[in-house]
């Protein structure tokens, strides 16, 4: 499907609906991470062997897994990924995220904010479907998708539960290296806080962080301090039990072991348990 509005680029999205439903179901906003395949991977579409291998390695088709569990799932395509990456060759082996970030700055826009708007736009579209119960909404994502799920959940109180996978790190840590992913840069963030402070805005709602113990994008010494900063917020309002961690034996991938029972419990969807 395409969402259209004056002054904005068309937003491609998939809306996945279980077969033969005659009641309202919980809705899940499922967000993708970096990579050339965009939102195709989340719904299990692979047009090449490389695409299929990417899905298998990261257990990337969690949108497809969720609809098979009876949820209604919407997944948008962020820029500059998938079909929103115009001509990969035009970037001449440079990072499309960094180039898109700079180009948008010339227009007074921010790449992360543009993608966040598209996530919330998709969430609004999902909540308005006749087959969706707007009081039972969740947001999930892997990698950049986990970061965007965190932001969407922080800003939208209608999201009742979040699963954030492969995204428990801090910009404070990354700025110490040669980090420049324009899709995740918020100018001035470190003057105010960091990823844990944004994540704390999800409290007191349930939130699960998936952390692969072999995830090369996670810095082991930074995970515990980041978690403790989030825990302080949940503890302060008496909701510490709503903050969960799935530390699993694996790399940068979606796990789902604790995620699916949590979603079923919070969204009161016993068929998916």
Q: Which class in CATH covers the domain with range 12-272?
A: alpha beta
pLDDT at position 139, please?
98
pLDDT digits (tens, 9 = 90+) for 201-212: 999 999 999 999
Torsion of CA 217, 123, 98, 81, to 10 degrees: 90
pLDDT digits (tens, 9 = 90+) for 169-183: 888 877 777 666 889
What's the CA gap between 164 and 148, in Å, rounded?
9
What confidence category does residue 273 fall into, taking pLDDT thresholds of 50, 70 and 90?
low
* % the chain with pLDDT above 90: 80
What's the CA gap between 134 and 148, in Å, rounded?
20
Query: Which SS3 state, helix, strand or coil, does residue 201 take?
Result: helix
pLDDT digits (tens, 9 = 90+) for 6-21: 989 999 999 999 998 9
- Nearest-Å Rg of the Cα atoms of the chain is 18
Q: Token pair 């919980």 is at which residue?
A: 26
Q: At what angle do helices 111-127 and 144-155 cross, to 10 degrees?
A: 70
What is the chain's mean pLDDT, rounded? 93
pLDDT at position 203, please?
98
pLDDT at position 264, please?
97
What's the CA gap between 271 and 273, in Å, rounded?
6
pLDDT at position 272, please?
65
pLDDT at 244 over 80: yes
Give the ranges where 59-95 is alpha helix by DSSP (H): 62-68
Give the Cα-Cα-Cα angle 186, 190, 191 (nearest 5 degrees). Answer: 110
pLDDT digits (tens, 9 = 90+) for 11-53: 999 999 999 898 999 999 999 999 889 999 999 999 999 999 9
- pTM recorded for the entire structure: 0.95
């Amino acid at each position: 499907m395409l969402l259209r509005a004056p002054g904005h680029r068309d937003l491609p999205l998939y809306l996945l609906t279980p077969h033969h439903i005659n009641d309202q179901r919980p809705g899940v906003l499922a967000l993708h991470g970096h990579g050339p395949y965009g939102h195709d991977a989340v719904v299990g579409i692979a047009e090449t062997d490389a695409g299929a291998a990417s899905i298998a390695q990261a257990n990337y088709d969690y949108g497809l897994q969720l609809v098979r569990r009876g949820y209604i799932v919407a997944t948008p395509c962020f820029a500059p990924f998938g079909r929103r990456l115009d001509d990969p060759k035009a970037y001449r082996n440079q990072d499309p995220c960094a180039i898109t970030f700079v180009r948008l700055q010339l227009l007074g826009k921010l790449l992360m904010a543009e993608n966040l708007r598209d996530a919330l736009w998709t969430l609004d579209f999902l909540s308005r479907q006749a087959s969706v119960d707007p009081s039972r909404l969740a947001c999930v994502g892997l990698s950049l998708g986990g970061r965007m799920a965190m932001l969407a959940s922080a800003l939208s109180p209608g999201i009742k539960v979040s699963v954030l996978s492969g995204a428990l790190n801090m910009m404070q840590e990354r700025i110490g290296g040669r980090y420049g992913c324009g899709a995740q840069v918020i100018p001035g963030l470190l003057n105010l806080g960091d990823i844990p402070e944004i994540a704390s805005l999800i409290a007191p709602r349930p939130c699960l962080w998936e952390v692969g113990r072999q995830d090369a994008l996670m810095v082991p010494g930074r995970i515990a301090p980041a978690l403790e900063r989030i825990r302080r917020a949940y503890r302060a309002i008496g909701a510490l039990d709503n903050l969960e961690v799935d530390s699993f034996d694996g790399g940068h991938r979606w796990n789902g072991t604790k995620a699916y029972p949590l979603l079923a419990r919070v969204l009161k969807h016993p068929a998916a348990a």
